[in-house]
Chain A
């Protein structure tokens, strides 16, 4: 977490601060490259660095475990060579993300396919069974089964579908523009006008010095007196006043609910469907197929804004969007309901030595998970949350239901800091737990009968 925070700060502050300290004339790019500053450029740099690190990690992995030239390495190279998408390394798995833009349809919505190659390991119940063998046979049995595992023996094919019911993003473009224009005019326009003019004079001076302003690098035109003078003046301004103006634009847009418009899109009721085919070979375990459907809704949405405007007699314009969003400050999280269905195949494998066979019957499982929460008041200090989970499995007569209603209290800064010193977190959390059978309730601080109880913790949110 600390590393991530430091990395994020470095990414945010690095380019501008770094450039301010170095000699602008040592910059290796063009004028256009120098006068470019935005979050995205930093993100692109970070993404490129991450990509390089991932590539280096994958390269070392292929060398370490002898996969170089193997099927997995061949697959990865083909995937990248055919420009099908990105390959990432995630906790013992290689993930092939197909480019989602290629499967984004106006009428049907977006399809996001992924292919995940897990590091094949012994199926956990099988490993437990081996643990019951005579000690002299255990290690040799494990070694024999592990030896047969190949690099594509545990793979998942995932397909996520996000239907497109409406496109409020298009309708909200007008509102976003109407918020942006006056904010831009009052915060940065004068500065950006001056910078554009200074750039034109810099361009003219580079031209007059006999260089192509679009291609000449700072190193080249800094050898000429007039371009150098103009460039250094503009570079100084860019690193101070212009940088401040850009930061101010961002802050003012935020204060005027420009970025909060995203909540109207994100909060729209939506479904996400996903199908997963998990295929394993040999001792890696049984095959599984899962289908899941998720419904999400936020407390503020484009439809909610329309209903609110209608009920209050307001027009659907920038002013009413800002008023609507202002009224919801402090509220947030989504209400979500997820239903999963999983079908697991029968699994049978002879144990090395030929005397015993491990077998496990297949089965079906249905799970439903409801999550929601609301902040009370106008801050995020008090939160009420609900989580309810229901599982049913074939062959397991005990259907399971557990629900938790939690109250989270965030103390003020001073008290929160004091909590952190002792507990590692700052929140106070009190939860009421109910289960349909006593064995599912879990440990509680205060019994309220066999199926219910109270739990509490100080410093509930670990950081």
Chain B
């Protein structure tokens, strides 16, 4: 029963009016990132660094679909980048990455 409850909460988090907000904050750098939003429907979307910083980049979510993100980027010099994922103003997730000069990174993020 507990597992069913979790599924219900998850599905309830995304409905027809839910907005996904993505923001990348940075220190040091330059560092450049990009996000690919993958969907089980036909509403995939891409966000460039200009969309994400200062952000937020926004996307309307469909309650019938599941979503995941691929966040990637590269560091010119030492610094850090943090992806803030906000689903409907209630579910918030942050993904930090610290990098040295010359680093690239790839992160998978499931929409909370």
Contacts and interface: CB of A to CB of B under 8 A. Distances in A.
Q: Do A and B bind each other?
A: yes
Given A40-B97, A259-B76, A198 B38 contact: yes
Interface in B81-100: 97-100
A32 B107 contact: yes
Contact of A38 (B10, B31, B39, B105): B105
A197 B100 contact: no
Contact of A203 (B36, B68, B77, B99): B68
A189 interface: yes
A259 B44 CA distance: 30
Contacts of A249: 72, 74, 104
Interface residue range, chain A:
35 or more
Interface in A195-226: 195-204, 207, 210-214
A432 interface: no
A378 interface: no
A320 to B, nearest CB: 16
Contact of A212 (B6, B69, B102): B6
A283 interface: no
Contact of A258 (B65, B76, B110, B112): B76
A242 interface: yes
B101 to A, nearest CB: 5
A38 B97 contact: yes
A192 to B, nearest CB: 5
Nearest to B32: A180
A200 B68 contact: yes
Instruction: Give the interface SS of chain B, mostly helix, strand, loop or mixed.
Output: strand
A43 interface: yes
A265 interface: yes
Contacts of B74: 180, 249-250, 253, 258-259
B49 interface: yes
A239 interface: no
B16 interface: no
B104 A32 contact: no
B30 interface: yes
Contact of A193 (B4, B10, B36, B40): B36
Contacts of B99: 38-40
Given A192-B36, A249-B72, A214 B110 contact: yes
Contacts of A259: 74, 76, 101-102
Contact of A196 (B30, B36, B65, B97): B36
Interface stretch (A132-140, A171-179, A309-317): A171-179
B105 A32 contact: no
A177 B66 contact: no
Instruction: Give the interface SS of chain A, mostly helix, strand, loop or mixed.
Output: helix
Contacts of B10: 207, 212
A359 to B, nearest CB: 48
A261 B36 contact: no
A199 B40 CA distance: 9
A142 B74 CA distance: 57
Contact of B70 (A31, A169, A173, A192): A192
B68 A199 contact: yes
A261 B30 contact: yes
A163 B77 CA distance: 18
A176 B105 contact: no
Contacts of A184: 34, 72
B63 interface: no
A262 interface: yes
Given A200-B39, A261-B30, A43 B72 contact: no
Interface string B39-68: 110001010111000000000000001111
Interface of B: 3-4, 6-7, 10, 28-32, 34, 36-40, 44, 46, 48-50, 65-70, 72-74, 76-77, 97-112
5 contacts: A37-B106, A203-B67, A262-B76, A262-B77, A265-B76
The 4 closest A-B pairs by CB, nearest first: A196-B38, A38-B105, A35-B108, A199-B68
Given A169-B28, A199-B69, 17 more contacts: A31-B108, A36-B108, A39-B99, A40-B97, A40-B105, A43-B103, A169-B29, A177-B48, A181-B48, A188-B72, A192-B72, A193-B44, A196-B70, A201-B40, A201-B66, A207-B66, A258-B76
Interface of A: 31-32, 34-41, 43-44, 169, 172-173, 175-177, 180-181, 184, 188-189, 192-193, 195-204, 207, 210-214, 242, 246, 249-250, 253, 258-259, 261-262, 265
